[in-house]
Every structure is written in structure tokens, then in C-alpha cells.
Chain A
Amino acid sequence: MLTKRIIACLDVDGGRVVKGVQFENLRDAGDPAELAKAHSESGADEIVLLDISAAHERRATILDTVRRAAAQLFIPFTVGGGIRSLEDAAAVFAAGADKIGINSAALADPDLITQIALRFGSQAVVVAIDAKRDMNGSCWKAFTHGGRTGTGCDAVAWAEEAEDRGAGELLLTSMDRDGTASGFDCELTRAVAGSVRIPVIASGGAGGAQHFVEVFRDGNADAALAASIFHYGLTSLGDLKQELAAQDIPVRWPC
């Protein structure tokens, strides 16, 4: 049976994983390559590396980071953050990424989705959507630039357009839930998953195993992504997968 994927996300700034990391038995807990490998070995189904470097000059290190992480990673590896053009994407693929994540650049120029999909295949294009519930509560709007810039664009409509333009997957982050550990936004996830035929990765709000159960069962997510709960060791990937299996959510376990 096709399983629900658990994706470990590494937020990288200037070549170092940020958000605080407490991993045992690692020489260098903030090294993205070592963390990616450790997550893979403990049962992550996929690794997402997001370059959140605010300063442009700090981005230069990202290709080297991707290369080092990819060298020992034999599960799907997505890299996002700062990809503005087909050339940027090509460089990230050449460094060893299997998929690229694009957000701001895709909203600014939706044709970029198509260009990358035509050259590298739709399976390699993940469109990331940062969505926030509208003030009147009736819908969600897409944001860019790490959530700093509102676009006024309806998140569900944008998800449909991204699919039509060639996106292979959607990485849907609830800005309302991100960092709260209060659970994924199942309503948002269900709204998007119900309107597209490509996989939807839910992100933002993971605090414990029950949140994953909810987003798979009630949110119809195909995959769920988390960062800090794995890094802080609040939930080990193995424990999480055992718990999901115990609640009849199909997962890749034992790996």
C-alpha cells in the first residue's frame, strides 16, 4: 500500500542548520549533511533542505551544502529557498537535489514552474505555498518571501494553477500554525488536497504524533513535514512511525 510520507526539514542559514538542534552522537550538530544522513537513518522518508539565508552573500554556500548532503543520501532530497530561475534550479539539480522547491519566484513568474518541469520533469518541481487565513476567515491567502509579503492570491486557486502549470507536488505551510506545535491546519490541507490531483505535503504546526494522525486522516495529506520536533528530539522518527502504524496509518516502517 502507498504509505504516508514523513519528511524531515532542515532550515539552513549560511550553511548551518538553524532552529536549534540537539542530536546525539553527531560530531557537529548543526551540519546539514550530517543531520540529513542521521534523519535518513532514523526513518525519514524524505529530506527537505530550505535555505533561509536572508543575506544574498550567504547563499553562495548552499550548493556546497547540497553537494555534501546529497553525497550520502539515498532517499528523495528536495532543496528550496532562493531559486529564482531555470539556471538556479539546474545548479541545484547538478549538486544532487532530486526536487527543487519554489515559492516567491513561482508566484512572480508562474511560467518558471513550466520551464523547470519541461526540463527536469514534473516530479522534480515542488511548489511551496505559504498560506495564511484571511482576516474574515473565509479563505487562505498565499504569502511570499518567507511570509513577509502578502500577495492577495487565494491559496487554493494558486494550488490549482501550480498543478496546471506542471508542479509535481505541493508543499503547503500554514503560517497560522507554523512554530506553534499546536497541530497542522487540517482544514487548509483538506481544502487544497481536495482541489488538486498531485500530492500535498502538509507543513506547520507539528507538535506530536497525534497531529500527524489528524493531518493524514482529516486533512487528506499525502505527506507531512516537520523540523523542530525531530531536531529537539521531542519525537523520534521511529517512535512517530510506530505510533502511526499502531493507529492504522500506512507508513514505511520498519524501513
Chain B
Amino acid sequence: MIAIVDYGAGNLVSVKKAVDFLGHECAITSDPAEVAKATSIILPGVGHFASTAAIEKSGLRDAISGAIGRGVPFLGICVGMQWMFEGSQESPATAGLGLLRGECERFPANVKSHHVGWNDLDTTVSSLLFRGVKSAPFVYFTHSFRVPANRTTVAYCEYGGRFPAAVEKDHVFGVQFHPEKSGEIGLQVLRNFCSL
């Protein structure tokens, strides 16, 4: 069973719908015990980084961190990916998981502060996540902060400079775009993750 973690932020229906469509058993849950038993974990997220404080308070953080420690595949989407880092300028008081180093930051002032729409990726680094995906794929983004440059990046995007759009470290993955809203390409990314 794939756990789609509900920490009270945003709308998880579309993620569940995509995983259902791919034929994988999944459940939306806010119960740390359920998350601890999951075969893989998806942490979606939209909105403000401060909302991730609920992950800490609810005991979900320990459940997620324990599962990752046991080798359970994990995928953070959008703010869920940002949470994998140490923190974000969006909410300095809120700690991330800290699995990856650095702090999420704003886009520079020469572009609109929200990166919204379809943009193409540079996926030249070989990765599990983009297996079977053609080069320069278009995916759907909607975010105002981005993760810092890091060595686990497997896809880059260009908006106010080059920034990491996907990270991959062993069985831990993060995508800044929304695979559940990125058509066939997004479904292939989810299929790759869900089949691990």
C-alpha cells in the first residue's frame, strides 16, 4: 500500500487519482502508524512551507524518517520536495527534514514571483525517475520557492536561472513539478516511482 501523506495542506485528490489510474493500491492518510507500514510514501504539498510544521507536530515526521531509514521509497512533490531540505526562506522558523542540505529560496526579482505553467526539463543525468521519458519533457509547475543547488539533482529547469526540478538519492526522490498534472510524462514519472 502506497501512503499519500495528508498533513492538512492542500488537495490530495489528484495525486490519489493518478496513482489509482496507474493501478497501484494507495490511501490518503494522516496516521503515523499507517505511514510506518506503507510500502512507499508520497508526500504531496502545495501552498506555504509553514504548513509542513504539521508533519512535525503530528508524529508523521518520525514515521517518514523511520521508513526512509528502512529503505522505503519516498517521493516528495512540490512543497513535499522542499521539505526534504533543511528549511525555506518562506518560513525560517519551520524546520525541514534535512535529508538534503540547504535552504529553499525565492526566485530572483527579474521574473514573476510565481513560476506557473508548463516548462521543459533538462534530464541529461541518468535517473530512475525519468526512465522511459523522452528528452526535454514538459511538466507542470506552480511554486514561488525553489530548492538550492545540490548534488542529487537529476533534472534541471530554467526560470530566473537554472534550478533543480528533481532530486534522487538512493530510494528517496523529490520533484518540484506536479507529476499528477503533467500528462503522460508525469504519469510515467509516477509509474517509475510506484513500481519500485
Q: What does the 1/0 interface line of A135-170 toward B look like (CB < 8 Å)?
A: 000000000000000000000000000000000110
A222 to chain B, nearest CB (A): 7
User: Given A5-B118, A96-B14, A74 and B180 touching (CB < 8 A)?
Assistant: yes
CA–CA, A93 and B112, complex, Å: 26
Nearest CB to that of B116 among chain A residues? A199
* Chain B CB within 8 A of A84 CB: no
Q: Which residues of B are found within 8 Å of A223, using beta-carbon distances?
A: 117
Stretch binding the partner chain, chosen from B31-39, B92-100, B145-153, B182-190 = B182-190
Whether B117 and A98, one on each chain, are in contact in the complex, defined by CB atoms closer than 8 angstroms, is no
Q: What does the 1/0 interface line of B100-142 toward A look like (CB < 8 Å)?
A: 0000000000001111111110000000000000000010101
Whether B17 and A96, one on each chain, are in contact in the complex, defined by CB atoms closer than 8 angstroms, is yes
- Residue from A40, A96, A199 in contact with B117 in the complex, judged by beta carbons closer than 8 Å: A199
* Chain B CB within 8 A of A45 CB: yes
User: Given A121-B9, A121-B47, A2 and B140 touching (CB < 8 A)?
Assistant: no
Main SS at interface, chain B:
mixed
* Chain A CB within 8 A of B54 CB: no
Main SS at interface, chain A:
loop
Q: Which residues of A are found within 8 Å of B47, using beta-carbon distances?
A: 120-123
Q: Which residues of B are found within 8 Å of A199, using beta-carbon distances?
A: 112, 114, 116-117
User: Given A2-B159, A199-B112, A124 and B10 touching (CB < 8 A)?
Assistant: yes
Whether A75 and B140, one on each chain, are in contact in the complex, defined by CB atoms closer than 8 angstroms, is yes
* Chain A CB within 8 A of B61 CB: no
Whether B113 and A70, one on each chain, are in contact in the complex, defined by CB atoms closer than 8 angstroms, is no
Q: Which residues of A are found within 8 Å of B180, using beta-carbon distances?
A: 74
User: Given A168-B114, A199-B117, A252 and B158 touching (CB < 8 A)?
Assistant: no
Whether B10 and A120, one on each chain, are in contact in the complex, defined by CB atoms closer than 8 angstroms, is yes
Nearest CB to that of B142 among chain A residues? A123
Q: Which residues of A are found within 8 Å of B115, using beta-carbon distances?
A: 2
Q: Which residues of B are found within 8 Å of A76, using beta-carbon distances?
A: 140, 181
B17 to chain A, nearest CB (A): 6
- Residue from B48, B117, B158, B187 in contact with A222 in the complex, judged by beta carbons closer than 8 Å: B117
Q: Which residues of A are found within 8 Å of B27, using beta-carbon distances?
A: none
Report the count of interface residues on A (CB-CB < 8 A): 32
Whether B140 and A222, one on each chain, are in contact in the complex, defined by CB atoms closer than 8 angstroms, is no
* Chain A CB within 8 A of B46 CB: yes
Whether B117 and A5, one on each chain, are in contact in the complex, defined by CB atoms closer than 8 angstroms, is yes
Whether A74 and B9, one on each chain, are in contact in the complex, defined by CB atoms closer than 8 angstroms, is no
CA–CA, A1 and B114, complex, Å: 14
* Chain A CB within 8 A of B65 CB: no
Which A residues, 61 to 90, have Cβ-Cβ distances below 8 Å to chain B? 70-72, 74-76
B59 to chain A, nearest CB (A): 23
Q: Which residues of B are found within 8 Å of A168, using beta-carbon distances?
A: 114, 116, 142
Which A residues, 119 to 135, have Cβ-Cβ distances below 8 Å to chain B? 120-124
CA–CA, A168 and B11, complex, Å: 15
* Chain B CB within 8 A of A197 CB: yes
Whether B17 and A198, one on each chain, are in contact in the complex, defined by CB atoms closer than 8 angstroms, is no
Whether B114 and A198, one on each chain, are in contact in the complex, defined by CB atoms closer than 8 angstroms, is yes
- Residue from B18, B46, B112, B118 in contact with A3 in the complex, judged by beta carbons closer than 8 Å: B118
Q: Which residues of B are found within 8 Å of A255, using beta-carbon distances?
A: 138, 183-184
Nearest 4 CB-CB pairs, A to B? A121-B47, A121-B46, A123-B142, A252-B138
* Sample of 25 A–B contacts (CB below 8 Å): A1-B119, A2-B119, A2-B159, A3-B119, A3-B138, A72-B21, A74-B21, A74-B180, A74-B186, A74-B187, A76-B140, A96-B17, A98-B181, A120-B11, A120-B46, A121-B48, A124-B10, A124-B11, A168-B142, A198-B114, A199-B117, A222-B116, A252-B118, A255-B183, A255-B184
Q: A45-B117, A124-B10 are in contact. List 11 more A-B contacts (CB 8 A).
A: A1-B120, A4-B117, A5-B117, A70-B17, A74-B187, A120-B11, A121-B46, A123-B116, A124-B11, A198-B114, A223-B117
